[in-house]
Amino acid sequence: MPVTPDALTYADDLADFVASSPSSYHAAAETARRLEAAGFERLHEEQAWEIRPGGRYVVVRDGATIGWSVPSDASATTPSHIFGAHTDSPGFKLKPQPTTGGRGWLQAAVEVYGGPLLNSWLDRELTLAGRLALADGRVVLADTGALLRLPQLAVHLDRGVNNNGLALDKQAETQPVWGLGDVAEADILAELARSADASASDIRGYDVVIADAARGAVFGKDDAFFASGRLDDLASVHAGVVALERAGVADSGPIAILAAFDHEELGSNSRSGAAGPFLEDILGRVYDALGADSSQRRQAFASSWCLSSDVGHSVHPNYAQKHDPVVQPVLGSGPILKINANQRYATDAVGSAAWRGWCDAADVATQEFVSNNNVPCGSTIGPITATRLGIRTVDVGIPILSMHSARELAGVSDLHDLTRVAGTFFAG
């Protein structure tokens, strides 16, 4: 599809969002900041809430954020339309005692997080980012900017690499360099603390990851492509944020909810993951405020929907045999409906029909995705949400190439189309 000026503007805003979100904690904070700027009220879980019809609210739990807009005529049985996504991305996480090195080099001790394409992290400028828990009880965000690099071994020292391929040892060959000097006199935590206007001696705990420091970019014939780190799954989080910002307060319709969870790349089993109680906790407090008893809440859930939005695979022109021989979504032809016979995705016939209806309402083309039978299918927050809450769930997203790479590739028009469909979904 042609790339419109609106789609290019949207891609630039997505690049800003990703740049502001080098870790899940930054993504959660940036989501909340944007929703607050759009008029949402920030709530805190340890406090009492006053939720009213016509109100808009946002809550942050660690690296997850849930924002919602309550229509003016909301009642105890008003359904919810939940747009679900995740804030974390595959990569590396800083280990305890993280300052390492030798032979004149300073290195960072890291652990593999999720399932990254290890080779894609080589020869890139990388940042350290995450949260620091300080001695005074504060939790602050830190982002060093470009500080580290995983330098590849020169071809002169590995003559067979182009014929035999490159397989990195996850321990010995993935520890990035960040400086020169004596390890005994260096402290990478000091670099983190400095970026957060704190002292290394004040740090009592940290959750810090490595992220690609380069900004997202539009390129290609007719500006068709958008390349960036962390499109899995900040592309979906951003789509939900923009749709919720634009939605305003409806006079009637469903409760519009953006649920951006952490730890999807690890299986979602955490207090801020989709398998945890976060969304159920929020829904419970919302429906309590609307006066719902247990039976009425079940009524509301029975007519509610969840769109689980995560990236899927575009057909790869160099590896077409890895894809289904018939169903082959491609960048630029619309968001995808994800289907799996073994319920790795939660989509069913009724959900498929509903998705196509929302796409029609938004005047957006859609594609289907299904895996080659010989290639195992991944999963999403969709089946988890459907199982935990009993809410009908549809798995959707955008097609990309280079999934789990340090820098992934999407279609500019698909990114914009996803938020347009999210808008019709929120409107009900």
Chain segment 137-185, per-residue pLDDT in tens: 999 999 999 999 999 999 999 888 898 888 899 999 999 999 999 999 9
| The pLDDT value given to residue 378 | 86
Does position 93 have pLDDT exceeding 80, yes or no?
yes
| The pLDDT value given to residue 287 | 97
| The pLDDT value given to residue 250 | 85
| The pLDDT value given to residue 164 | 86
Return the ∠ at Cα 114 (arms to 110 and 118), rounded to 5°.
65
| The pLDDT value given to residue 304 | 97
SS3 assignment, position 383: helix
- Where do the structural domains in the chain lie, given as residue ranges? 5-89+229-427, 91-212
Predicted structure pTM score: 0.95
Q: Sign of the C-alpha dihedral, residues 100, 101, 107, 111?
A: negative
- Average pLDDT of the chain is 96
Separation of alpha carbons 381 and 259, rounded Å:
10
Q: Can you state the angle between helices 24-37 and 231-247, rounded to 10 degrees?
A: 10
SS3 assignment, position 207: strand
Chain segment 17-45, per-residue pLDDT in tens: 999 999 999 999 999 999 999 999 999 99
| 5-89+229-427 shares its CATH topology with 91-212 | no
Fold classification of 5-89+229-427 (topology level): Aminopeptidase (3.40.630)
Mean pLDDT, residues 322-343 = 95
Separation of alpha carbons 120 and 389, rounded Å:
37
The architecture in CATH of the region 91-212 reads Roll (2.30)
Which residue, among 331, 256, 341, has the nearest Cα to 82 in the 3D structure? 256
